[in-house]
Structure 1
């Protein structure tokens, strides 16, 4: 019985980074369009050829996928779980865009959800590489 409680506690604790990641994304979504326009030119200067690609969404959902992978643990090695991680990130991305529709100067954009899912997909593809997976398992024990 004690071991079962301990395992559940560990599972819950492993979810905390994902919850914080989701909270950070939610907070960023609450940033008005005017405030966002101060950051956008910086990234457009760094990557002028990628004007329609939002690196912020890519990076946020790359990290969110990593935290969800961490929460799931060793079971995330399965292909079905990897697909689930990307779908969960995509679903959260859709709710993020819906949230933005209520923020001044912001509007929902399907391209943002695309970038969210690209970030999550890159994470699951990267961590599927054997050397990266071994390193990740050592870190995420």
Structure 2
């Protein structure tokens, strides 16, 4: 089926949430080590057992995977696209860690990339559950 200019534009616009979320991740990664250290006590009020910010990587890249999945649309139901979503999130995680190497008080950490990819993989696995996938594809 040949795409018209309108359907191509709609396809491109579906990636806006992913681009916005990538900008959010970039902005949060731009915070210095001291700024991140001041945020932790705030969140520990609500989650007393939280000892580190590692959970933030899971959540951030879970959301990024969902946004990329939304952009890809129904094609994302195919295994090759599920793998691509996790790999794209991992690649963005690599660039995020590289970016952090230039921020005062921050250092790149391979474990963060692992956590990013786990968050993305959890999205891909959850959305593979038929009732959840049917609900998600209505958007």
* TM-score of the superposed pair, with normalisation by structure 2: 0.91
Mind listing any 5+ residue stretches in structure 1 that lack a counterpart? none
* Higher deviation after alignment, 126-135 or 51-60: 51-60
Q: Match for residue 5 of structure 2?
A: 5
Q: Match for residue 100 of structure 2?
A: 100
Mind listing any 5+ residue stretches in structure 2 that lack a counterpart? none
SS at match of 2:4: helix
**Aligned-pair CA distance for 1:38:** 1.6
**CA-to-aligned-CA distance 1:91-111 (integer Å, 9 cap, x gap):** 000000000000000000011
Q: Please report the RMSD computed on the Cα atoms of aligned residues, expressed in angstroms.
A: 1.8
Q: Match for residue 112 of structure 2?
A: 112
**CA-to-aligned-CA distance 1:57-84 (integer Å, 9 cap, x gap):** 1111000000000000000000110010
* TM-score of the superposed pair, with normalisation by structure 1: 0.90
Q: How many Å separate the matches in 2 of 1:119 and 1:47?
A: 22
Moved over 3 A (4+): 41-45, 50-53
Q: Is the 8 A contact 1:90 1:116 kept in 2?
A: yes
**Aligned-pair CA distance for 1:43:** 4.8
- Residues 1:110 and 1:51: Cα distance change in structure 2 (over 3 Å): farther
